[in-house]
Amino acid sequence: MAAVPTGPPHPSRPPLWELRFDSGRLCLDLVATAHPDERLTSPERLRAWLTGAGLVPPGTDLTVPHSWLAAFRELRLHIGQLVGGELANRPAPAALERVNLLARAAPPTPCAVRTAEGTLVRSLYAEPGCPALLAAVARDAVDLLTDPAVRGALRQCEGDNCPIVYLDTSRGRRRRWCSSEVCGNRERVARHRRRAALARA
Ligand SMILES: [Zn+2]
C-alpha cells in the first residue's frame, strides 16, 4: 500500500488514491470511481476497490490481471447510464441489455471459516474470476433498479458539477450531498465566501 497522506482531504481535489464507499450501494460506489477523475488506474487499485466494497474479504489471495480494468470500467459506464437514465426518465436499452447479460454469471460463492480463535469469518469458496465479480455488481444494479422503494431514494448530489448518485436513506430524506466532507464542505466554504464578500461590499 502506498503512503497515505494524513489530514483531511482538500475539499476541491480529493487525493488520487481516494476510493469512496459512501453512496449506499455497491453498484453506485463503482460508478463513483470515475469521479472526479479515474480511480481505477491499476490492478492494485481495482483490488483495493474490490476489497473496500466487500466483494472480496480482506486477506483474500486475489490476482487481478490488467484486463479486468477495462471490464469493470465498461460495466461502470453501463450502470452509470442506467442510473442516470432512471433519474432523467430516459431509458438506456443498450446499457440495460449489457448489465442483464453480465448479471447472468454466478457471483462469488461465500463460505464461513473458523479462525484459530474460534470465531467464524467470511471467506470465499474459491478465488473469484472476473465474470463472478462483475456479476455481483451487475446483480446489485438489477436489484436496486427493480425495487421501487430503493429506486425512489436515488439522488444526484447537489454539489456543483458533481455527478455522484447516492441512496438517500437519511431520516426525512434530506441528504443533499454525496458527502458532507466533500460537496457539503465545499458548499459551506462558498456560502462563507459569499457572506464575507457581501459584508465587505
Ligand atoms: Zn457531490
Amino acid at 128: P
User: 36 C-alpha to center of ligand 1: Å?
Assistant: 10
Q: What is the pLDDT of residue 17?
A: 64
Separation of 70 CA from ligand 1 center, angstroms?
A: 25
Distance 159 CA to ligand 1 centre (A): 5
From first to last of the 201 residues of the chain, give the pLDDT tens digit: 444 444 444 444 445 568 999 999 999 999 999 998 999 999 999 999 999 999 999 888 899 999 999 999 999 999 999 999 999 999 999 999 999 999 999 999 999 999 999 999 999 999 999 999 999 999 999 999 999 999 999 999 999 889 999 999 998 999 999 988 889 888 888 888 999 998 988
| pLDDT recorded at residue 21 | 94
- Looking at residue 122, its pLDDT comes to 94
Distance 53 CA to ligand 1 centre (A): 19
pLDDT of residue 157: 95
In angstroms, what is the span from residue 156 Cα to ligand 1's centroid? 8
Interval between CA 134 and ligand 1 midpoint (Å)? 25
Distance between CA atoms of 160 and 79, rounded to whole angstroms?
A: 22
Taking the centre of ligand 1 as the mean of its atom positions, its distance from the CA of residue 166, in whole angstroms, is 9
Answer for the pair 171, 190: CB distance below 8 angstroms, yes or no. no
For residue 8, the CA-to-ligand 1 centroid distance in Å is: 16
The confidence score (pLDDT) of residue 5 equals 43
**pLDDT number for residue 9:** 44
83 CA distance to ligand 1 middle (Å):
16
Query: Can you give the pLDDT at residue 7?
Result: 45
Dump the DSSP string for the chain: -PPPPPSPPPTTS--TT-----SSSHHHHHHGGGSSS----SHHHHHHHHHHTTSS-TT------THHHHHHHHHHHHHHHHHHHHHHT---HHHHHHHHHHTTSPPPPEEEEE-TTS-EEEEESS---HHHHHHHHHHHHHHHHT-HHHHTTEEE--STT---EEE--STTS---SS-IIIIIHHHHHHHHHHHHHHHH-
The pLDDT value recorded for residue 15 is 53
